Chain A
């Protein structure tokens, strides 16, 4: 058979091939389209992720900006603080440099950490030499009396945390061996937890003050000596006249000489009292504590006053607690306290009156306590039913030369210094003295003395 249309088979084949090709291409296109769709999807996802990331980055960037701003503020604050600290340090350095007193600070091991300009001048050592060394290297304190090392109050301040003043008559040995009088105070330094981390010593050259004090002391001693000498003449010649050494006296002569003698004795008491007041005010009197039996001391003063007590027919009652401990006290000073208070009671209680003396234990306010309680005081109570102290005079009773209006009329002889001296001694002993009184009814004096007793003090004189 002949093909009618032979080209048609070729074309069909070609068409078929073409169709196949097209199909293949179509299929490929579909795959590609699918791939493109996937890619587009991926792109879309990536784009979305990028958008999210961009947003997150934007947030982070914002946060960073906030942090950056905060850091900037903090940095500025720190800068200002650092500037402030510098200014404060500069101010402190300027203050320390301008203080005439030596200022030395130590850590808890006693190593010097601060040594100001004045300390350099006073010791002769530079801050460089002193800082880092133990304080004993730069601060060589000795006692003026024997030139021996002073008590280590700096060590005690660090260990016990006690603020103290060095005893008067302390000297400092400078680097060149020269000695100068100093007065100083020492205080522990604590951190915010109240733990001791060191101490501060402040000291100054008191040579000039010491010279002035010495001059004052010598003046007072000499003045009292000069006043006493003519008084002694009057006393002794009056005594000799009264005892008949120059022959018998008539009644009038005896009476007049007695008045001269009494006046002279009164003058002598005044000189002694003024001397005591002067020594108290200058702080130059010695305190020499020793174990003292206070009831025995009080009783000995009562025994001294017995002639006056009996002369006025006064009823005296003493009540002394059994459990009173022996106390470290200066017996001379304590005797003066008892003498003044008891003598006043005797003097200002009319004939036939009552005087009571009680000794016991109390707190600092005079309230009774048991022997095992802390913060004990010896309590002295002297009460009488005498003239009393007018209310209007009561606030002045411990002042110098003051005497109540009601007693001045009855007795012109008192110095008005006794209670001032009593208060001075009791205050110095860490005690208290006070009273209750009603005019016409009587007076009660109270005084308390801490059981730890009096602190020793080296002075240039004793009280008379």
Chain B
């Protein structure tokens, strides 16, 4: 019997095309399945339809921002326990507090984090979850 190891999936929600692409390419190379969304409304839709193992969530986005998407996600039965890492360039204790209120695993400031370190953090969270 062939045992196929299911690839873990990551949803990248970010309005910046270049960053979404950079993360997406990197994650695929690291062996993940990648879903993408360009705003919080699309992100919630993709999350609820595909149940990714972890969500990388930007905050400043048009249509629906990251904090609102997180709040809406937590109101869903599946979304309540979804793993979310905020990955944003906003640095402010107000936004951090909002994210913590709605339950986030981490709050990373993109410009301060190397991609490899982001991957390490993702693997830590997925390991902790399993």
Contacts and interface: CB of A to CB of B under 8 A. Distances in A.
Interface stretch (A106-114, A428-436, A454-462): A454-462
Contacts of B94: 460-461
B42 interface: no
A236 interface: yes
Contact of B19 (A232, A245, A272, A460): A232
A209 B115 CA distance: 41
Nearest to A222: B60
Interface in B4-37: 16, 18-19, 22-23, 25-26, 29
Interface in B71-93: 88-93
Interface in B40-84: 60
A314 interface: no
B60 A233 contact: no
Given A232-B111, A240-B115, A460 B92 contact: yes
Given A228-B109, A239-B115, A240-B22, A245 B29 contact: yes
A227 to B, nearest CB: 8
A228 B114 CA distance: 13
Contact of B16 (A233, A275, A460, A464): A233
Given A228-B109, A239-B114, A233 B19 contact: yes
Given A232-B19, A232-B110, A225 B26 contact: no
B106 to A, nearest CB: 16
Contacts of B92: 217, 221, 460-462
B111 A271 contact: yes
Interface residues of A, number: 27
Chain B interface size, under 10 / 10 to 19 / 20 to 34 / 35 or more: 20 to 34
Nearest to A231: B111
B112 interface: yes
B115 A221 contact: no
B114 A240 contact: no
Contact of B22 (A224, A228, A233, A464): A233
Contact of A229 (B16, B93, B112, B114): B16
B116 interface: yes
A240 B26 contact: yes
A231 B111 CA distance: 7
A271 B19 CA distance: 19
Contacts of B112: 268, 272, 464
A219 interface: no
Given A228-B111, A237-B22, A461 B91 contact: yes
A225 B111 CA distance: 9
Nearest to B114: A239
Q: Which of B29, B114, B115 is packed against the most chain A CB atoms within 10 Å?
A: B115
Contacts of B88: 225
A150 interface: no
Which residue, A217, A225, A233, A286, has most C-beta atoms of chain B within 10 A? A225
A229 B89 contact: yes
A462 B29 CA distance: 35
A235 B89 CA distance: 13
B110 A460 contact: no
A243 interface: yes
A236 B91 contact: no
Interface in A84-112: none
Nearest to A460: B94
Contacts of A275: 91
A236 B93 CA distance: 25
Contacts of B18: 233, 237
B107 to A, nearest CB: 11
B55 to A, nearest CB: 18
Interface in A212-259: 217, 221-222, 224-225, 228-229, 231-233, 235-237, 239-240, 243, 245
B115 A236 contact: yes
Most chain A beta-carbon neighbours within 10 Å: one of B22, B25, B90? B22
Contacts of B23: 236
A243 B19 contact: no
A228 B25 CA distance: 21
18 contacts: A217-B92, A221-B90, A228-B89, A229-B89, A232-B89, A233-B19, A233-B22, A235-B111, A236-B23, A237-B18, A237-B22, A245-B26, A272-B112, A275-B91, A461-B92, A461-B94, A462-B93, A464-B112
Interface of B: 16, 18-19, 22-23, 25-26, 29, 60, 88-94, 96, 109-112, 114-116
Given A221-B91, A232-B110, 13 more contacts: A225-B89, A225-B90, A232-B89, A233-B19, A236-B22, A240-B25, A240-B26, A272-B112, A286-B93, A461-B94, A462-B91, A462-B92, A462-B96
